[in-house]
Amino acid sequence: MNPRTSELPKLAAYTTLRLGGPARRFVSAATSEDLVDAVREADAAGEPVLLLGGGSNLVVGDAGFDGTLVEVATTGYRRDGGIVDVEAGQNWDAFVAGLVEAGLGGLECLSGIPGSVGATPIQNVGAYGCEVAESIVSVELYDRETREVRTLAAADLGFAYRTSVLKGTDSGVVLSVRFEVREDGLSAPIRYAELARTLGVEIGARVPAAEAREAVLKLRRGKGMVLDPADHDTWSAGSFFTNPIVPSAEAEAVLKRITEVVGAEVPQYPADGGVKLSAAWLIERAGFAKGYPGPGNRVSLSTKHTLALTNRGDATTADLLALAREVRDGVHERFGVRLHPEPLLINCVI
């Protein structure tokens, strides 16, 4: 089967933010072979390529994308014992739900995250104390430089907080991901305090995977982090900023400054090479409350969670970026901490 090519409406129809202008060309690839063919064809023609999964981690400029948009429409997964191979275009939460229904654990704390499986290793998707790096065995990808399909083991993916060797480069096109799951039906150890409280267990406990999934979905819904077309608080790209990591050499001075400004203890967490701070905590104490409006009230911080920047229905990408700059610069001016965006910015900057 050949990839399906057609004219593309605005990318707003394909992103969870519902923002973004048109692409020059649109191709839908329903198999890995189609996906490789589509990318090879575009590369041979010198055409820029943008891969589209669930559109949940994209901020696309109002001018759109001057190239070929390739929709990764591959779906399905195969299990052999505790090993599961998943197609890149498979809806992530549907996959997690399927595992839980089959009595398999390990990924339930990542329930409710929008998007596709192929995007998860790129930024080492994580939530509620878990990251996909803990379960990924390997990734099969198409290497656009060598024009070959190859497999990278987890150890070769350079996983770190919300990143991997695949992030920031388009040379590797993820075709499928292999995960190791738990066959005892229990969750991964519960590490996140809020989730532990919701479940009524101690940190480190394991619970039935279905119970952990239900609790995570409850928490995410309360923060507007489960997609709902009727709820503008979910018209977002999820958490817009990553939690900043302050290098060890700077941590003491930065923490002292923040404490002096807010007159309270700063929440902090150990991280490789430094101290991780809560972006949401900093945003709120820099004067940006839930629901803080952007230009013309067309965008705002979510009314449920300050980390989400939302489209209130008739926004432009320029509106969203203006609010993002205001928040980023406000936090930096008040605390000396620079926030960085988590989504991929296409034909736009903040």
Flag whether pLDDT at 342 surpasses 90. Answer: yes
Instruction: Provide Rg for the chain, Cα atoms.
Output: 20
Give pTM, 2 decimals: 0.88
Give the number of domains in the chain: 3
The arithmetic mean of pLDDT across residues 52-69, rounded, is: 95
Each residue's pLDDT tens digit, 206-240:
999 999 999 999 999 999 999 999 999 999 999 99
Residue numbers annotated as active site: 162, 239, 342
Mean residue pLDDT across the chain: 95
Which of the four pLDDT bands, split at 50, 70 and 90, describes residue 272? confident
Which of the four pLDDT bands, split at 50, 70 and 90, describes residue 1? very low
**Residues 176 and 244 placed together within one structural domain of the fold:** no
The arithmetic mean of pLDDT across residues 320-334, rounded, is: 98
Which of the four pLDDT bands, split at 50, 70 and 90, describes residue 6? very low
> Residue 8 has what pLDDT?
52
**What count of Cα atoms within 13 Å lies in the side-chain half-sphere of residue 345?**
14
Residue 308 lies in a domain: yes
**Residues 86 and 198 placed together within one structural domain of the fold:** yes
Residue 41 lies in a domain: yes
Each residue's pLDDT tens digit, 276-301:
999 999 999 999 999 999 999 999 99
Residue 69 has which token pair?
Answer: 């948009």
Flag whether pLDDT at 3 surpasses 80. Answer: no
Distance of alpha carbon 161 from alpha carbon 270, whole angstroms: 12
Cα of 138 vs its chain's centroid, Å: 19
Supply the range of the domain harboring residue 237: 232-346
Q: Give the end of a domain, one of 189, 222, 255.
A: 222
The arithmetic mean of pLDDT across residues 324-328, rounded, is: 98
**Residues 68 and 85 placed together within one structural domain of the fold:** no
**Residues 212 and 298 placed together within one structural domain of the fold:** no
Whole-number Cα distances in Å, 190 to 132, 155, 281? 15, 24, 22
Residue 299 has which token pair?
Answer: 């965008």
Cα of 230 vs its chain's centroid, Å: 21
Q: Give the end of a domain, one of 57, 72, 87.
A: 72
